[in-house]
């Protein structure tokens, strides 16, 4: 699930850059929005695929954790200040789910049917 959501979001940053990529980064005031849109989108696609197939799962989860921490900090702090804790939590529930899912993958790694597990079974 984590891999598929990040893959989808990464693709959308290229398909709809004005609302999901550079335009979004520009709206929230991040520097170099064109670069960031492509940079973040590429990491979401690559790491999403790696997590989906269970290859380098722990390593792939690290950039996604960073992406989610930055997303929460840059898009939810204003909501917290203006509307309070519960409104911020409601509006960021998907962000928190993706962050916690990525942290889980960092700690536990891939599952039984993953490339990572196959490689460790075969001594690679």
110 token code pair: 């891939």
Within-domain flag for 120: no
What pLDDT sits at residue 124? 62
Within-domain flag for 41: yes
pLDDT band at 93 (very low <50, low <70, confident <90, very high): very high
Domain boundaries, position 28: 2-112
C-alpha span between 21 and 27 (Å, rounded): 10
Residue 5's closest CA among 34, 33, 47?
A: 47
Q: What is the pLDDT of residues 5-42, one digit of tens each?
A: 999 999 999 999 999 999 999 999 999 999 999 999 99
The model's pTM:
0.90
Q: Do 22 and 37 form a contact (C-beta atoms < 8 A)?
A: yes
Has residue 123 got a pLDDT over 90?
no
C-alpha span between 32 and 7 (Å, rounded): 22
DSSP string, the chain: -HHHHHHHHHHHHHHSHHHHSHHHHHHTT-SSHHHHHHHHHHHHHHHHHHHHHTSSHHHHHHHHHHHHHHHHHHHHHHHHHHH-HHHHHHHTHHHHHHHHHHHHHHHH---TTSHHHHHHHTT-
pLDDT band at 78 (very low <50, low <70, confident <90, very high): confident
Within-domain flag for 29: yes
Within-domain flag for 59: yes
46 token code pair: 């690559």
Number of separate domains in the chain? 1
Has residue 114 got a pLDDT over 70?
yes
Q: What is the pLDDT of residues 44-70, one digit of tens each?
A: 999 999 999 999 999 999 999 999 999
C-alpha span between 63 and 68 (Å, rounded): 9
């Amino acid at each position: 699930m984590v891999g598929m959501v990040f893959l989808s979001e990464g693709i959308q940053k290229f398909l709809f850059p004005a609302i999901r990529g550079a335009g979004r980064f520009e709206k929230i005031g991040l520097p170099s929005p064109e670069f960031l849109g492509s940079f973040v989108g590429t990491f979401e696609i690559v790491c999403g695929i790696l997590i989906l197939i269970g290859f380098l799962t722990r390593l792939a989860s690290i950039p996604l954790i960073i992406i989610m921490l930055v997303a929460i900090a840059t898009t939810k702090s204003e909501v917290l200040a203006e509307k309070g804790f519960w409104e911020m939590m409601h509006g960021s529930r998907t962000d928190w789910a993706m962050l916690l899912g990525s942290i889980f993958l960092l700690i536990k790694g891939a599952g039984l049917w993953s490339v990572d597990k196959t490689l460790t079974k075969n001594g690679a």
